[in-house]
């Protein structure tokens, strides 16, 4: 087998499986239909469970900073020329804020999305959708890591001399077209968090509290804290 055989056969994503992300922090990136990935693996290796399969090796909920995220680790296996591969590992994450659209948080949905993500990460090692990932030299998953986001952060605006007067009719929570709430100050997605009493705040809770407290402005937890200190 040639070294690039899988990679070359899995790298190209058909146009119909690609969806440009047109709003929010991931604007300009491409969403890949998860079902295409399954089809690509099945075409090459055979049906899931026979030609390829995965095992979930861990699932956990982690808070990092003000965020609460579900993580799933998997091992992907495939059979090639009668031999079962070594595990191809992948870790996927999903922020529970993505569940916030319907006002309820279900960890089940979160884990499902983290699993899809984990499969995309493992499959990427075989070259699945390589052209999409390589073209941008980074991908949707890596941009959600804290480090690149730091780099993307806009410089902090100079502190305003005084607070603008609250609008007469404070606006309600403003949800962007991608379903997220964005901070008026730092433009980052507002994530849910768990406070020190263990109470879980959904992004919508945070936005509602911020609007009430900061004259109609929707602020992330970090910016709201800075605001209180100032
Ligand atoms: Zn902010």
| 109-162 residue pLDDT tens | 788 889 999 999 999 999 999 988 887 544 444 444 433 333 444 555 565 556
Between these two residues, 174 and 150, which has the higher pLDDT value?
174
Please report whether residue 23 resides in a domain. Answer: yes
Please report whether residue 64 resides in a domain. Answer: yes
Q: How far is CA 151 from CA 146, 166, 182, in A?
A: 9, 32, 18
Please report whether residue 205 resides in a domain. Answer: yes
Please report whether residue 158 resides in a domain. Answer: no
Burial 75-88 (b: 16+ CB within 10 A, else e): bbbbeeeeeeeeeb
Burial 127-164 (b: 16+ CB within 10 A, else e): bbbbebbeeeeebbbebbeeeeeeeeeeeeeeeeeeee
Question: What pLDDT is recorded for position 203?
Answer: 87
Question: What pLDDT is recorded for position 145?
Answer: 40
| 8-42 residue pLDDT tens | 999 999 989 988 877 766 777 788 899 999 999 99
- The count of other CB atoms within 10 Å of the CB of residue 114 is 27
Question: The domain containing residue 97 runs over which residues?
Answer: 5-148
Question: What pLDDT is recorded for position 8?
Answer: 92
pTM: 0.57
Residue 117 and residue 180 in one domain = no
Residue 123 and residue 223 in one domain = no
Ligand 1 centroid, distance to 44 Cα (angstroms): 45
Q: 57-61: long-range contacts (C-beta < 8 A, 24 or more apart)?
A: 57/89, 59/111, 59/114, 61/96, 61/107, 61/110
Please report whether residue 155 resides in a domain. Answer: no
Q: How many residues does the chain have?
A: 230
Please report whether residue 162 resides in a domain. Answer: no
Ligand 1 centroid, distance to 185 Cα (angstroms): 5
**Which of the listed residues 116, 148, 180 is the one where a domain comes to its end?**
148
Q: How many domains does the chain have?
A: 2
Q: What is the DSSP letter of 164?
A: P
Ligand 1 centroid, distance to 177 Cα (angstroms): 18
Ligand 1 centroid, distance to 143 Cα (angstroms): 17
Q: How far is CA 128 from the centre of its chain?
A: 19
Please report whether residue 173 resides in a domain. Answer: yes
Q: What is the DSSP letter of 192?
A: P
Residue 39 and residue 118 in one domain = yes
Question: What pLDDT is recorded for position 28?
Answer: 73
Ligand 1 centroid, distance to 9 Cα (angstroms): 43
Please report whether residue 161 resides in a domain. Answer: no
Instruction: Give the DSSP H or E segment for 185.
Output: none
Residue 123 and residue 226 in one domain = no
**Which of the listed residues 99, 114, 148 is the one where a domain comes to its end?**
148
| 43-99 residue pLDDT tens | 999 999 999 999 999 998 887 555 678 899 999 999 999 999 999 999 998 876 544
């Amino acid at each position: 087998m040639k070294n690039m055989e899988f990679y070359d056969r899995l790298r190209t994503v058909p146009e119909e499986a690609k969806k440009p992300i047109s709003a929010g922090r991931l604007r300009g990136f491409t969403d890949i239909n998860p079902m295409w990935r399954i089809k690509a693996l099945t075409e090459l290796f055979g049906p899931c469970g026979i030609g390829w399969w995965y095992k979930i090796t861990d699932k956990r909920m982690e808070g990092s900073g003000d965020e609460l995220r579900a993580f799933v680790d998997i091992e992907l296996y495939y059979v090639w020329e009668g031999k079962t591969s070594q595990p191809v590992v992948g870790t996927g994450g999903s922020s529970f804020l993505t569940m916030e659209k319907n006002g309820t948080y279900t960890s089940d949905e979160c884990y499902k999305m983290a699993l899809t993500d984990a499969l995309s990460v493992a499959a990427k090692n075989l070259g699945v959708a390589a052209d999409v990932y390589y073209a941008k030299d980074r991908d949707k998953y890596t941009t959600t890591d804290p480090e690149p986001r730091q780099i993307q952060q806009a410089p902090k605006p100079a502190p305003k001399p005084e607070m603008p007067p609250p609008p007469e009719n404070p606006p309600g929570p403003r949800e962007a077209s991608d379903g997220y709430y964005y901070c008026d100050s730092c433009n980052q997605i507002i994530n849910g968090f768990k406070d020190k009493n263990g109470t879980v705040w959904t992004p919508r809770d945070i936005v509602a509290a911020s609007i009430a407290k900061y004259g109609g402005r929707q602020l992330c937890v970090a910016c709201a804290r800075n605001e209180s200190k100032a």
